[in-house]
Amino acid sequence: MQITKLLGILLISSIFLTSCSNDDDNDVIVNPLQINNKQPLGTSANDLLSSVNFKSLTIEMVSVQGFEPTNNAVENFKSFLEQRLFKPDGITINQRSVASSNLNPFTNDEITQIENNTRTAFNVGDDITVYIYFADGSSVNDTETNVTLGTAYLNTSIVIYENTIRRLGNRPNGPTVTTIETAALNHEFAHLLGLVNIGTTLQSSHEDPGSRGHCNVEKCLMEASIEFGSGMMEMLGKGVPELDPLCIADLQANGGR
């Protein structure tokens, strides 16, 4: 009886110890070197726009094999950044391909997990880094009428749903894949820059009351329809939309060009 009891206690305590150490393994332990890249969306707007804390920007662009963006879209995106950011030591885009996660369609948690598994570049010294993942699928939130082209989900993290873009870009008489990719990249990065009113203070009243983080100026890059595909096809028919003067004024007031 006593031995049984003792065994029982030993067993319980060993289970307890095991589960404790398992818990420790499962905890999301953010490496202190990575913590500045795991902050809420918009909190690095000034660090990305100005050269006060960071003189260069390195973008780690990770694509699933076969879902890489077109070279022209990457060039257009780089020009957009050079127009708006003060980075005297330069903007570098490093591209790399990885195997599929086989998780399509993706939840936000799955995208975060993929970033945890594939991101290698974090802020060092005066170089700020951004991670962009080109997914081989679509968002789990997509509906028949509304599809998501991309999402900016942390202060330096973006996902682009490349498979969704290719489906839209291969329609006859529609915008090209390059046009949609460029619009999605520019739009999502502008969210990292704090637009609209998510980390960069409004200089005038142009926030869309119906869609957080978006602009109510017609044809502006930060219109909500760019992100969600509804009305996007018509809007992109005339090329990649640009930021309107009100959005640019916000960026300039927060240290941007």
Q: Out of 123, 244, 250, 256, which residue is the one contacting Zn ion (CB under 5 A)?
A: 244
Tokens encoding 172: 């006859």
Instruction: Give the shortest CB-151-to-Zn ion separation in angstroms.
Output: 8
The answer to whether 168 touches 174, Cβ cutoff 8 Å, is yes
Closer residue to Zn ion in complex, CB, 115/227: 227
Instruction: Give the shortest CB-241-to-Zn ion separation in angstroms.
Output: 9
**Residue with the CB atom nearest Zn ion in the bound state:** 215
128: contact with Zn ion by CB under 5 A:
no
208: contact with Zn ion by CB under 5 A:
no
Output helix, strand, coil percentages for the chain, rounded to the nearest 5. Answer: 40, 15, 45
Instruction: Give the shortest CB-199-to-Zn ion separation in angstroms.
Output: 13
Closest listed residue to residue 257, CA positions, set 77, 87, 92: 87
Instruction: Give the shortest CB-220-to-Zn ion separation in angstroms.
Output: 3
Q: Out of 164, 227, 235, 255, which residue is the one contacting Zn ion (CB under 5 A)?
A: 227
Contacts of 255 (CB under 8 A, 6+ apart): 46, 49, 50, 52, 86
Q: Out of 41, 165, 168, 215, which residue is the one contacting Zn ion (CB under 5 A)?
A: 215
Instruction: Give the shortest CB-35-to-Zn ion separation in angstroms.
Output: 25
Closer residue to Zn ion in complex, CB, 177/226: 226
Distance CA 180, CA 165 (A): 6
Closer residue to Zn ion in complex, CB, 177/195: 195
The answer to whether 47 touches 54, Cβ cutoff 8 Å, is yes
The answer to whether 85 touches 77, Cβ cutoff 8 Å, is no
The answer to whether 90 touches 56, Cβ cutoff 8 Å, is yes
- Asked whether the CA dihedral 109, 80, 224, 137 is positive or negative, the reply is negative
Q: CA geometry: angle at 35 spanning 108 and 51, to 5°?
A: 105
Closer residue to Zn ion in complex, CB, 135/217: 217
Closer residue to Zn ion in complex, CB, 185/220: 220
- The beta strands (E) that lie in 67-155 are given as 91-98, 127-135, 150-154
The residue range among 19-27, 41-49, 97-105, 217-225 that interacts with Zn ion, by the rule CB under 5 A, is: 217-225
Q: Out of 184, 220, 248, 251, which residue is the one contacting Zn ion (CB under 5 A)?
A: 220
The residue range among 1-9, 50-58, 160-168, 227-235 that interacts with Zn ion, by the rule CB under 5 A, is: 227-235
Q: Give the binding-site size for Zn ion (rule: CB under 5 A).
A: 7
217: contact with Zn ion by CB under 5 A:
yes
Q: Out of 222, 232, 235, 251, which residue is the one contacting Zn ion (CB under 5 A)?
A: 222
Tokens encoding 115: 């970033």
Contacts to Zn ion by CB under 5 A: 215, 217, 220, 222, 227, 244, 247
